[in-house]
Structures are given as C-alpha cells and as structure tokens.
Chains A and B, each alone.
Chain A
Amino acid sequence: MVLNGGTDVVIQLRDRLINPEYVVDIKRIPGLDELRFSKEEGLHIGACVNMNRLGGDENVRTYYPFLANAALSVGSKQVRNRATCAGNLINASPLADTSTPLLCLEAVLEVEGPDGKREIPINEFFVFVRKTTLQKDEIVTGIRVPYYEGAEGIFTKVSRRNKVDLSTVCSTVMKYAGQYRAAFGSVAPTPRRLPKTEACLNEGPLDDARIDRAVELALSEVSPIDDVRASKQYRLDVVAMALRRGLESLG
C-alpha cells in the first residue's frame, strides 16, 4: 500500500477498512514534490504536491484558478498541508474535489511500474467507486495538465457546511476557444464529464433555449443516489443550478 499524505490511508487503517502487509511512504522520493509550469509544457503536479501548495501557487492561481479553488476547498488547512492532489484522484471517491477541474482540463496521469512508464488520460482513469485503472504494482509520479490560452472555468462546491466538509455535489464548467466542458462529482459512481450536455452546448450560440436543453441533458447524464449528505432530488437540483450559473457567468 502506497502512503502519500495519508489523509485517506491513515483513516482506512484506523477503521480497519484495509489491512496491508506493508505501507510504503513515497514522500521522500526525490522529484515527486515538483510543481512547475510553462506555457509550452503546461502544468506538472508532482505526486506528492499537497493541496495548499497547489492552491497557493502563483501560476496555478493565474492560469488554472478553478483548479486552485478546488484544491483549497478540500478539508481544513491542516488536512491540506498533507492531502495531495494525486492521492485525491487515486483514492477515487465520487466526490473528489480536484477531479472535476482536472477532467475538464484533460489531465494525464504519469505512471511508473515494473514494466516502465505509461500515461493514463484522466477520462480513462476512474472505473468505479474507489477503483481506477492504476495497477497494484504501479505508482503515479505526477499529473500533467495542458495549458489552455484564455480558458476560463468555474468550480462549484455545495456542501452541508461552509468549510471542512465533503461535497454534496462538486462541479467544473469550463470554456475554452468558444467550446464548453462540464464535469460533475458525487452524482455517479465516479466523477465524470457530461458528453451529451457538452455536445449540445457546442452546437451553436449559447441562448436561453440552449441552456435549458443542456440542463435537461445533464440531468439525464447523472445518476445520483440518496445518502447521508443529501437526497437524489437535491443533488439533481444542484446539478441544474451549478450548470446554469456556470454557463451564465462564463457567457
């Protein structure tokens, strides 16, 4: 079992949800804490970069502000000093807050294992609740995020409490070169893009009728459940609200 920031692993150990023979701390492997940006190569988020560092980074705040907002919405300051962005994706909770901006940004996970290196596009990464296409003997070394000149995005998190709470629904709506992308978390077994909704939005100019149609499609593309945080109906209403407001403010 790989140990990164441990904010999921230590709790799973404590609750005896996992019983690994070995726990391998990767935080002191040189290079895994690198965070760098250039317009040519985009953003590289090393596997051990924590949420406060990601969300506070000047380049991330400038070029990927909705990713910064998502990172800073995770837990508390104490948790964010430990929790990593890579761990957030690999843990594969349906509500992982950094998943929706990274889905819209079409990030790529850089993976290394006994057979060498490979890359997994984020839209092929999540399989089911807590299941990914990462193999047991592989580790993620970093996340690569392309640079999109002039892209804008809105990250929305709705939770029961203002701070330090898990998302009831989280989402990102992004606009790049006149095209829209939308991803939602906590409304299906995995965080996901909404391809039909996006296709509708990208067919023609954004007017009220198109927004109505897109919201209707979005509701058909998610399958939320009732749980301790909210009912299915509440989540559907939040999906409609977050998409509508996101589109209206991106214009």
Chain B
Amino acid sequence: MKYHVHFYVNGDAYDLDVPANKTMLDVLRDDLFLTGTKEGCGAGECGACTVIVDDVPLNACLVLAPELDGVHITTVEGLSDGPKLSPLQQSFIKHGALQCGFCTPGFLMSATALLNENPHPTREEIIDSISGNLCRCTGYKRIVEAIEEIAARGQTAETQE
C-alpha cells in the first residue's frame, strides 16, 4: 500500500506516493536523488543521515516515509546558495575538517541546527550537539574548531533565506 505525502525539501514542494516500508532517507536518496545525505549504519548510531526537519536535527534513517507528510526538510544540498558555500561549509574546508567526507553532511546539518538555534554555543554545547555523529577518519578536533569559528563570529550557518 502507498501513502500520498506532500512535503518540502530545501524550499521545494514535493508530492509523492510512498510505500510504508521505506525510510525518509530512502526517499531523499533514491526518489529525489538528493544523495548528499548519507547512509552509514541505518540504525540511528552514526548520524551520517542527519537532516533538519521542522527546525530540529533528526536521523532520516529512523523516520518512515509516510511520516513525510507536511514536513519541511533541509538537507546538505540546501546549505549552499548555488556554488556559494555556507560560512560553516567554508570553515570546514579552511580547518581541514574532513578527509573522506562521508560523515561531513551529517556534521554540517547537526552544527547548522545548533547554530540556527544558538548562534554562540560554547565548546561543550558544540560537542554535545555533534555527539550523535561519528567520523572515522578526521577525528573530531578540527570539526569542533571549524564550528567554533562560526560560533565566535555569531554568523548564521546557512546562506539561504
């Protein structure tokens, strides 16, 4: 059985008929081809699938597709304005806060959600907000530093809006 859902991703409206046994992550990647959002564990452990849903970070792998109805989602594709990266994305590059990059979209979304809610988080708040994201190659120091730079500037993390 399929369910009709109407929802928004990065400001664009979508109408789809989705099966109950897919996740939000499957819909984003396989139906909308928004493959910036990654699947690591598929079980809520790694945070690679983090997206912002109605202002809060969620694991897209833990949300069933019929629950998409009526929600507003921001994915990593929504952070940049065309080729212009968000200040947080630029800071990740400047600080070398990525190696393979697989975890990066998830970290960017967790940190963006934090900075939207609280433009000047402390180091402790930063660490807490990314504790649900795993990185297996860079280590966390540079990632924290990249976020701290934006926190110090108090700039909003997103370029859009």
Contact = CB atoms under 8 A, between A and B. Distances in A.
Interface of A: 3, 6-7, 10-11, 13-14, 23, 25, 27, 52, 75-79, 81-82, 163-164
Nearest to A163: B131
Given A78-B44, A78-B50, 4 more contacts: A10-B23, A52-B56, A76-B131, A81-B58
Residue among A14, A78, A79, A82 with the most chain B CB within 10 A?
A: A78
Q: Which secondary structure characterizes the binding site on chain B?
A: mixed
Contacts of A164: 45, 131-132
Contacts of B132: 75-79, 164
Contacts of B45: 164
Interface residues of B, number: 25
B63 A77 contact: no
A203 B55 CA distance: 51
A55 to B, nearest CB: 12
Interface string B81-110: 000000000000000000000000000001
Interface in B114-132: 128-129, 131-132
B43 interface: yes
Interface of B: 20-21, 23, 42-45, 47, 50, 56-59, 61-64, 66-67, 110, 128-129, 131-133
A6 B110 contact: no
Contacts of B63: 6, 10, 82
